[in-house]
Structure 1
Amino acid sequence: MSTSRRALLGAGLATAALPFLPAEAAAPFVGRGAPAWYRFRFGAYEATIVSDGALPLGKAEDAFTGAQPGQVNELMRANFLDPANAVLEQNALIVNTGRQLILFDTGMGDSMGEASRMFGPTTGRLLRNMRAAGIEPSQIDLVVLSHAHCDHCWALVDAQGNRNFPNAQVALAEADLNFWTDDANKRGPAFMVPFIDGAKKNLSAYRDRMVMVRNEQEVVPGVIALSAPGHTVGHTVYAVTSGQEAMVYTGDLAHHHILLLRHPMWEFAFDTNPQQSAQTRARMLDRFATDRTTVMSYHFPWPGTGRMVKEGQGFAWHPTPMDVTSLG
């Protein structure tokens, strides 16, 4: 028997020898966690990360492709992750510049009824978590979209088609706007039909207040668009700067902090152009690692901020410790 096992058993026997004390009051299970939001200073700005809830994809080897047989499952198990259910986070960034309140991506929402639960019941929590963080949707001045997939824009409106962000403009690459509102693209994988129907419903409510983003151009002061095509035709990441501080909101550049960092040329089942997506990912991750850039990833483990470093043929993820003292 190993020393550690003997020690654990010894501790158990010692506990069993304690005198029995009757329970004074049996507390019921609470059954829910705390609202998921995290706030920190970023230069002169205030940043808040708000969760839309977990996004379970099912079998990892079905979602992440291009590997040798068994390689995805082996890598998941080696990192204490369940290969039968790859679960992603949904971390929406809200930046208060002092002049504007900017939301990056909206989460799944409930605008498409049953289709809004295609990944299960744990999504669609952005609005309630925003309110728990003291932010009302009506305060948002600009919604910046990385792309027009369901888990990034379907909370622009509610189930009745009303704007959830009544005072906001919406920024998006024109290529994505055109692609995901075109019925002619309802071909290929089955998810294309609800994805396009959902994008049309959500984006059309803001057609009179759309802002078309352009590569390496300012969206608003402090936010620069960087084209990152492949996951979708107009997928865009955003550099947020304040003084000497810089952070890149990477959207869906890499969906998984292990699989697509260790093997950036693997592919993802929901990519519009998987090969281009992998090439874009490898190029940008190399740039971020070389420059030691702080990144904020929509799908990485909560709250999604950290840095990449080169490791072998890929990269490793180093999350930023949450600073509980930054706001006093």
Structure 2
Amino acid sequence: MNAGFARRDLFAAGAAAAAAMILPRAEAEAAAPMRNDLPPAWHRFKWGDFEATVVSDGSLPLGKPQDSFVGPGADRITGMLTDEFLDPNAATLEQNVLVLNTGRQLLLFDTGMGESMGADSKMFGPTTGRLLANLRAAGIQPEQIDMVVATHAHCDHVWGLVDASGQRVFPNAQVAINEADVRFWTDDSNKRGPAFMNVFIEGAKKNLNAYRDRFVMVRNEQEVVPGVTAIFAPGHTVGHTCYAITSAGRTMLNSGDLAHHQVLLLRRPLMEFSFDTDPKLSAQTRARMLDRLATDRHAVLSYHFPWPGLGHVRKEGDGYGWVATPMNVTSLG
């Protein structure tokens, strides 16, 4: 007997037996309503002597990937996404916000989209702006945050600093950020080029200006607080900064927007992203940093990679691959 046919016959027999056991239709109809909601999204793990919690601000849909990912290798986008069983017609990013408890301070890395800019806060759709609800679900209150550490001043990273009325969401927090980004994104003379620049600058002004008396200007390769070192990674914005988190001899890089997509910008590091301030510089920075991460084998927390954004980068051919850390692993190695 052909083994393939034997297996199919076995499956068919099993299905028939199962069907015979189904309750009569009148007794079986108890359809539950569709919930159309999501559970709180947070993930906690130990990092050396630190405690880390990743909290979601929700997904961020970009739409057609060819509108955002351009330049070298963009002609291969459809194939790259299809090969990874991803929708070739829609790019969706995550927003993975890190909360780090050092034992002395509670740090929040970026703030998500927030609601400070009203309708503009939903420019990427209704699925963003969930940080505060998920923070509270994780047992963290906004007033407990000692410092917001910003990777850069784009909408999905600092627009959650204040609420719609302009009041501080994190009333006891300092804000650590690169001075070049503060200057650029609060300067009206930079309202030129892409259409998004106007609202991005207005949003940055509203959110950053509320903390002017609480700024801590980060310096390249210097500690922001013990165990957290700023790594200048310009291009996406003029002052885009990654942060190396080191405790008990282990290092994890909070990579911010070094790479927005786990397939497109890792397989093709020199591809460009349409929201980059300097796309060429951003691509060069990305290629250099990815090579360093693959060589040093440091763990990575990526803001926009699939939830919760934890994993490693490894060299694959002319580019790199993303190796996600399983969710059931509570202590990265």
Q: Same fold (TM over 0.5)?
A: yes
Pair 1:7–1:274, CA change in 2 (3 A): farther
Matches within 5 A, 1:214-233: 214-233=219-238
The CA deviation string for residues 37-69 of structure 1, in whole angstroms up to 9 with x for no partner, is 000111111100000000000001111111456
Could you tell me how far apart the structure 1 residues matched to 2:31 and 2:260 are? 42
Would you say the 8 A contact 1:40–1:323 is kept in 2?
no
Tell me the SS of whatever aligns to 2:199: helix
Would you say the 8 A contact 1:58–1:87 is kept in 2?
yes
The CA deviation string for residues 6-43 of structure 1, in whole angstroms up to 9 with x for no partner, is 77666544433334342384433332121000001111
Matching residue's letter, 1:209: R
Would you say the 8 A contact 1:61–1:83 is kept in 2?
no
CA apart distance, 1:245:
1.6
* Residue of structure 2 in register with 1:283 after alignment: 288
CA apart distance, 1:77:
1.2
Would you say the 8 A contact 2:73–2:271 is kept in 1?
no
Aligned length: 326
* Residue of structure 2 in register with 1:191 after alignment: 196
* Residue of structure 1 in register with 2:173 after alignment: 168
Pair 1:324–1:261, CA change in 2 (3 A): closer
* Residue of structure 1 in register with 2:315 after alignment: 310
- Does residue 117 (structure 1) correspond to residue 122 (structure 2)? The answer is yes
Pair 1:5–1:146, CA change in 2 (3 A): farther
RMSD: 1.8
Could you tell me how far apart the structure 1 residues matched to 2:22 and 2:122 are? 50
Tell me the SS of whatever aligns to 2:176: strand
Could you tell me how far apart the structure 2 residues matched to 1:293 and 1:3 are? 49
Pair 1:8–1:119, CA change in 2 (3 A): farther
* Residue of structure 2 in register with 1:144 after alignment: 149
Tell me the SS of whatever aligns to 1:129: helix
- Does residue 108 (structure 1) correspond to residue 116 (structure 2)? The answer is no
- Does residue 182 (structure 1) correspond to residue 187 (structure 2)? The answer is yes
Pair 1:19–1:142, CA change in 2 (3 A): closer
Structure 2 unpaired stretches of 5+: none
Structure 1 unpaired stretches of 5+: none
Pair 1:3–1:114, CA change in 2 (3 A): farther
Would you say the 8 A contact 2:42–2:56 is kept in 1?
yes
* Residue of structure 1 in register with 2:36 after alignment: 31
The CA deviation string for residues 57-84 of structure 1, in whole angstroms up to 9 with x for no partner, is 0001111111456411111111111122
Choose the corresponding residue for 1:20, options 23, 38, 51: 23
Tell me the SS of whatever aligns to 1:265: coil
Matches within 5 A, 1:41-120: 41-68=46-73, 70-120=75-125
Could you tell me how far apart the structure 1 residues matched to 2:133 and 2:269 are? 34
> Is 146-155 or 13-22 further displaced after alignment?
13-22
Could you tell me how far apart the structure 2 residues matched to 1:222 and 1:69 are? 38
Would you say the 8 A contact 1:239–1:249 is kept in 2?
yes
Would you say the 8 A contact 1:92–1:103 is kept in 2?
yes
Matching residue's letter, 1:268: F
CA apart distance, 1:276:
0.3
Could you tell me how far apart the structure 2 residues matched to 1:60 and 1:185 are? 26
Could you tell me how far apart the structure 2 residues matched to 1:223 and 1:320 are? 22
Could you tell me how far apart the structure 1 residues matched to 2:23 and 2:276 are? 59
Would you say the 8 A contact 2:73–2:268 is kept in 1?
no
Pair 1:6–1:82, CA change in 2 (3 A): farther
% identity of equivalent residues: 64
The CA deviation string for residues 253-281 of structure 1, in whole angstroms up to 9 with x for no partner, is 00000000000000001000000000000
